[in-house]
């Protein structure tokens, strides 16, 4: 694709106008921060989602590679989740210094103690990658196993870009078919419906666990509206505090919340310490885990998605204990960037000497937590000096440098010419009931593009925009 900065300014204005109209009419929207009630009342204070005006070039080879990895990672998550000892051992040092991870591990231990088995297992995942410019390698940033956002809106961005490319085919000279079909919302809804069917109770509902005042609610409503319209499955939305207040487990393990029987619990909250401001939220989490409802994710799937587990899996010979197929193992390993724990003294020494080549990550999700550049060096030196256990709260990762490209971003109706980098997220779903794998598939994608001067990639956190891709 040519440089969008060179597109005639009048054409850009037309494209922006059409993109804004399209987004408003097709529900590519988020709650507007400037409107107080926008996170509380649907339909109040909506604004178009922040977007890239045109899709970004992405090589077809690495696109195919990312798609092929999806079912393999799903299987890997499932296998790892079944190894309770591996999860507990891997996170044992983190547990001592990270109160949040420690609470999650306590719930996990309790499930091990009572011998809780999850026969029906559902994962809705997003594996994020960056394409390293120098080596041209597709490298995994992280694998999200809880609350993966933008499966509802991601597919709309692809549709928007396809529409713009076909309306303006003459002027732009681009082929809309090069934007891969993206069915993220309908695919996730379909697998949620299949999980609901496995639960075998026609009057039960899907419960979406939400943050109070969620402004990214339309992304979630896309899934639940599709669930209702296409699959006739009802859903309810509850915060962790509401679940604590209104939830109970019946003698046979059934979870009831507000009088409704819950077949599937779909978490769009519960991944960050701030989601648990009091004991009430932790009680709700434990209650759900103890119940017979299908959890997306279960505590084991959640822990499998931690950064510490990612780093452990990257150690020699660890993948081999979870996957048997040599090709699969090779494919997964190929996308692993360098990952180290802070007790690796050589890695720490190298990171102090060359901090710009590393990222330091705590066990957190949701963006805005990583340490970059000189702060890596300072933090490592401080930890060394203090000789504290706190180092176990972090992992070190090779910093990936994707190509910087010119792009046009639209936020709040205003268009910005920027230089940016992209991160490709591949959605995938895994559903099994005992020995039967019902779904294991790639479910569309999300490209996130962020201004190249910003280190973090969160769209909700305000650093990035939603994007799609144009295969080259
Ligand atoms: N190794 C890396 N190299 C370059 N950028 C990275 C790296 N790891 C993370 N980032 C950037 O930081 C963001 C947040 O990191 P991530 O591991 O995805 O944590 P979170 O759970 O907060 O999303 C990513 O979206 C990406 O933009
Ligand atoms: Mg991330």
pLDDT of res. 89: 98
Ligand 1 midpoint to CA 162 (Å): 28
Q: Where in the chain is the domain with CATH 3.30.1490.50?
A: 338-399
pLDDT digits (tens, 9 = 90+) for 437-451: 999 999 999 999 999
Instruction: State which of 370, 371, 401, 451 you would mutate to test the pocket of ligand 1, scoring each by most atoms of that ligand within 8 A of its C-beta.
Output: 370
| Confidence band of 145 (pLDDT split at 50, 70, 90) | very high
Which residue is it, tokens 């399209």? 22
Atom of ligand 1 nearest to the CA of 367: 22
| Confidence band of 2 (pLDDT split at 50, 70, 90) | confident
pLDDT of res. 455: 66
| Confidence band of 109 (pLDDT split at 50, 70, 90) | very high
| Cβ 396 under 6 angstroms from ligand 1 | no
| Cβ 399 under 6 angstroms from ligand 1 | yes
Instruction: List active site positions.
Output: 126, 142, 144, 149, 307, 361, 365-366, 448
Quick count: other Cβ atoms within 10 Å of Cβ 357?
13
Query: Residues 220-240: what's their mean pLDDT?
Result: 98
What is the rounded average pLDDT for all residues in the chain?
96
Q: Which residues contact 426 (CB under 8 A, 6 or more apart)?
A: 66, 67, 69, 70, 126, 127, 129, 442, 444, 445
| Cβ 366 under 6 angstroms from ligand 1 | yes
Q: Whose CA is nearest to atom 9 of ligand 1?
A: 141
Ligand lying closest to the C-alpha of residue 424: 1
Q: Whose CA is nearest to atom 27 of ligand 1?
A: 457
Whether 83 shows a pLDDT value over 80: the answer reads yes
CA distance 83 to 87: 7
pLDDT of res. 379: 96
C-beta contacts of 88-91 below 8 A and 24+ residues apart = 88/112, 90/308, 90/309, 90/312, 91/303, 91/306, 91/308, 91/309
Q: Which residues of 40-61 are buried (b: 16+ CB within 10 A; e: fewer)?
A: eeeeebbbbbbbbbbbbebeee
| Angle subtended at Cα 426 by Cα 195 and Cα 436, rounded to the nearest 5 degrees | 30
DSSP 385-454: HHT-GGGGGEEEEEPP-BPPEEEEEEETTEEEEEEEEEEEEEEEEEEEETTEEEEEEEEEEEEEEEETT-
pLDDT digits (tens, 9 = 90+) for 319-332: 999 999 999 999 99
Ligand lying closest to the C-alpha of residue 307: 1
pLDDT digits (tens, 9 = 90+) for 202-215: 999 999 999 999 99
Q: Is the pTM of this model over 0.75?
A: yes
pLDDT digits (tens, 9 = 90+) for 392-401: 999 999 999 9
Pick the CATH number of 338-399 from 3.30.1490.50, 3.90.550.10, 3.30.1600.10, 1.10.3720.10: 3.30.1490.50
Which residue is it, tokens 């209702």? 228
CA distance 384 to 386: 6
Helix crossing, 151-167 with 217-231: angle to 10°?
90
| Confidence band of 1 (pLDDT split at 50, 70, 90) | confident
């Amino acid at each position: 694709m040519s440089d969008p900065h060179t597109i005639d300014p009048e054409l850009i204005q037309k494209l922006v106008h059409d993109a804004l109209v399209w987004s408003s009419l097709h529900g590519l929207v988020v709650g507007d921060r400037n409107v107080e009630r926008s996170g509380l009342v649907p339909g109040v204070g909506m604004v178009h989602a922040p977007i890239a005006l045109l899709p970004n070039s992405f090589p077809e080879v690495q696109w195919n590679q990312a798609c092929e990895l999806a079912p393999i990672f799903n299987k890997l998550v499932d296998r790892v989740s079944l190894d309770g000892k591996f999860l507990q051992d891997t996170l044992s040092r983190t547990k001592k210094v990270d109160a949040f991870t420690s609470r999650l591990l306590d719930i996990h231990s309790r499930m091990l103690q009572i011998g809780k088995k999850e026969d029906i297992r559902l994962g809705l995942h997003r594996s994020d990658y960056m394409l390293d410019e120098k080596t041209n390698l597709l490298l995994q940033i992280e694998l999200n196993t809880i609350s993966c956002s933008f499966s509802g809106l991601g597919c709309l961005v692809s549709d928007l870009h396809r529409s713009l490319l076909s309306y303006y085919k003459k002027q732009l000279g681009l082929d809309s078919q090069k934007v891969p079909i993206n069915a993220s919302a309908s695919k996730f809804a379909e697998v949620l419906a299949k999980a609901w069917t496995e639960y075998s109770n026609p009057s039960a509902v899907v419960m979406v666990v939400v943050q109070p005042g969620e402004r990214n609610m339309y992304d979630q409503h896309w899934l639940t509206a599709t669930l209702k319209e296409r699959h006739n499955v009802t859903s309810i939305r509850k915060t962790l505090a509401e679940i604590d207040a209104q939830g109970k487990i019946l003698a046979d393990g059934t979870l009831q919340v507000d009088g409704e029987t819950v077949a599937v619990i779909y978490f769009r909250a519960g991944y960050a310490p701030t989601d648990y401001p009091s004991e009430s939220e932790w009680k709700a989490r434990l209650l759900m885990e103890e119940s017979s409802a299908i959890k997306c994710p279960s505590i084991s799937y959640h822990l499998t998605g931690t950064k510490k587990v990612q780093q452990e899996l990257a150690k020699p010979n660890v993948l081999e204990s979870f996957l048997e197929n040599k090709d699969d193992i090779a494919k997964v390993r190929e996308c692993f960037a360098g990952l180290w724990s802070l007790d690796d003294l050589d890695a720490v020494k190298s990171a102090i000497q060359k901090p710009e080549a590393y990222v330091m990550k705590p066990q957190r999700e949701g963006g805005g937590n990583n340490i970059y550049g000189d702060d890596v060096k300072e933090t490592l030196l401080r930890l060394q000096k203090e000789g504290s256990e706190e180092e176990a709260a972090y992992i070190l990762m090779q910093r990936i440098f994707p190509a910087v490209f010119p792009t046009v971003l639209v936020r709040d109706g205003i268009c910005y010419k920027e230089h940016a980098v992209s991160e490709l997220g591949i959605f995938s779903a895994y559903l099994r009931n005992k020995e039967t794998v019902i779904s294991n598939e790639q479910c569309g994608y999300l490209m996130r593009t962020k201004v190249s001067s910003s280190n973090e990639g969160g769209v909700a956190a305000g650093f990035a925009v939603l994007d799609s891709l144009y295969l080259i």
